[in-house]
Structure 1
């Protein structure tokens, strides 16, 4: 084999590797943009439904696609393509309206046109109280983030979606609010950890449909103690096996 042939063979091999890498990156971008995107839970605002250290997949196609479905959210179009409306009770990842560089995750409780208000810790939708039943207490700091027992209430929305909420502080400042009227094309979001959630009652405000990223679908990994998944030596004591492949409700 001549020197030229050897050089050509090496060059072809390198080109093939580069081509495979580029194709893999493009495939990953397509999957991330159109299908699934992984997210981690950085705060306790959705306890007990979601815990810090949960890693979950968000389905990007659930509500169609907006500019925020793309990496870095380029301002190349407005509105949503193939859009569909979230259902009341969906747990949604969205871009924080005051600063779209930040991702938030909350539960949809108010749809466009709804009147939302909290009275004595109970959620009211269009003047009708959402059924709220105390189911007991949780005495597990990994779930509640506090060292004492916490009351747990089961809420059931008008469409039948039920979920647990925490009541860390009875008669807190967010247990009684003004009435919020959700504008057209917007949604009202709340965290399940009602006394420790910055949501539409506070700084989040109404969330435009364009800011929706996707629906939280399944927890694929979970680790306690604010540990990184890369700290493999901590897995035996900190990985929450019971939360693996746990569907988000």
Structure 2
């Protein structure tokens, strides 16, 4: 009896150790290499939609407390092998106050002067190049437009009678050559006029591509915005690629619905901005 009990105890001990090793390995990969990320809103449309799943790399900017997944690390200053993002990068960050994960685009670097006038962005006194694009039509589904989205007023019907989201697109080109599409819903929004604001040292100014529907550096923290530029240490990683995207119809108890809910053409979308010379 004693031998059998010892053997069983050893088996349980090995199982617990194996589980612990697996959990530590997952945590290490999530914190140091890459992790998945879910888009829950329309703030980064048109490039990202509610329901997209991304791969976020952890190493391009070095590591800080924000790199540790599940917000397990205490907040502290400093980065290991830190390297500033480039203007135009899409980054995941911890909100400096709430520690909730946000995803935004880097617009201003330390020392930059940021200003918006009637929705038009200027950096260091120079207007950012803007090119109006044709209206973008996106099929409406349960995830698009997202909950309480400011884009709902752009829902219309196509020739086939199906609902479409037709949104106004403006392509911006930042200093350094990064180009990407934004949504400009027209005048009358509180975030259309901002600054001038000088980005402090070791901080980044972040904005959503849905310029009139994003709680970003232009929006006070009490309104769920970032309340100005965020510390570089709060950046957790860089958005790289869309792994898959769902339309909101999947049911957890029906595996077949998981495949039926996949949006075609979203997987594999590169999230790095086009840069001059690419």
Pairwise same-fold verdict (TM > 0.5): yes
Distance 1:73 1:25, change over 3 A: closer
Which position in structure 2 is the counterpart of 1:147? 155
2:124 to 114, 126, 129: 126
Shift of 1:62: 1.5
Partner deviation per Cα, 1:157-185 (whole Å, 9 max, x = no partner): 11111111111233433222221111111
Partner deviation per Cα, 1:36-81 (whole Å, 9 max, x = no partner): 1221111110001111111112111121111222243433742111
Structure 1 residue runs of 5 or longer lacking an equivalent are: none
**Alpha carbons 2:203, 2:229 under 8 Å: kept:** yes
Aligned-partner Cα distance in 1 for 2:251–2:93? 23
Is 1:86 paired with 2:85? Answer: yes
Which position in structure 1 is the counterpart of 2:232? 209
Is 1:232 paired with 2:255? Answer: yes
Distance 1:61 1:230, change over 3 A: farther
Distance 1:72 1:38, change over 3 A: same
Distance 1:172 1:159, change over 3 A: same
1:12 to 10, 13, 19: 10
Aligned-partner Cα distance in 2 for 1:50–1:78? 31
Structure 2 residue runs of 5 or longer lacking an equivalent are: 146-150, 157-165, 221-225, 273-278
Say which SS state the counterpart of residue 194 (structure 2) adopts.
Answer: coil
**Alpha carbons 2:57, 2:237 under 8 Å: kept:** yes
**Alpha carbons 1:139, 1:147 under 8 Å: kept:** no
Say which SS state the counterpart of residue 241 (structure 2) adopts.
Answer: strand
Shift of 1:206: 1.1
Q: Please provide the CA RMSD for this pair.
A: 2.2
Aligned-partner Cα distance in 2 for 1:225–1:42? 11
Aligned residues: 246
Distance 1:186 1:236, change over 3 A: same
Shift of 1:6: 4.2
Aligned-partner Cα distance in 2 for 1:230–1:78? 44
Moved more, 124-133 or 16-25: 16-25
Say which SS state the counterpart of residue 18 (structure 2) adopts.
Answer: helix
TM-score where L is the length of structure 1: 0.89
TM-score where L is the length of structure 2: 0.81
